[in-house]
Amino acid sequence: MYEPKIIGFLCRWCSYTGADLAGTSRLKSPWNLRAVRVPCSGRVSPELIMRAFDEGADGVLVLGCHIGECHYDNGNHRTAKRMPVLHALMEFAGLEPERLRLDWVSASEGQRFAQIATEFTETVQALGPCKWQQNGLPIHTAEVMEVPDAGVGG
């Protein structure tokens, strides 16, 4: 079975800390999730999510603070309003809706993080590899030319 690549956008104050707690508590949580820490889930704009899928993500998980607990008061209100709109758009464009998920995890909810991450990874795995990403430009020939050591920084 293929192993999905999950990109997780986790807000610095709640969900990222929650994920960290899951780690220090030695809770089992899938390695497939690659965390990207953002200051607030409200920062997660459509371009980030579409870029993740364009670069080959099989699933994107956006986790923020519970409503009412956002460090910036209403950052997660914006996420809550906007994500369903983006979700509808991407579904309309042919993305399976289960590949994008928005949820809320607080800093003390290590268990909840592990549970959501596991659930989401299993869902995405069951869907198979994501076909959103299109092939880049075809490479015609590869005539490799080695440039002599120019002493550039490593």
Which residues sit at the interface with another protein, rule CB under 8 A?
A: 46-48, 50-51, 54-56, 73-74, 77-78, 81-82, 84-86, 88-97, 131-137, 139-147, 149-152, 154
- For residue 111 the two structure tokens come to 């268990």
Nearer to another protein, 70 or 116 (CB): 70
User: Residue 89 CB, nearest distance to another protein (Å)?
Assistant: 6
CB neighbourhood size of 71 (10 A) = 15
Nearer to another protein, 28 or 136 (CB): 136
- Amino acid identity of residue 63, one-letter, is L
- Pick the closest to residue 18 from 3, 5, 8, 7 (CA basis): 8
Q: Which helix (H) or strand (E) holds 104?
A: strand 100-104
Nearer to another protein, 20 or 96 (CB): 96
User: Residue 98 CB, nearest distance to another protein (Å)?
Assistant: 10
- For residues 6 and 62, give the distance between their C-alpha atoms in angstroms, rounded to a whole number: 10
- For residues 44 and 152, give the distance between their C-alpha atoms in angstroms, rounded to a whole number: 36
User: Residue 28 CB, nearest distance to another protein (Å)?
Assistant: 28
Nearer to another protein, 24 or 150 (CB): 150
User: Residue 4 CB, nearest distance to another protein (Å)?
Assistant: 16
Nearer to another protein, 31 or 138 (CB): 138
On whether the CB atoms of residues 57 and 5 are closer than 8 A, the answer is yes
User: Residue 60 CB, nearest distance to another protein (Å)?
Assistant: 14
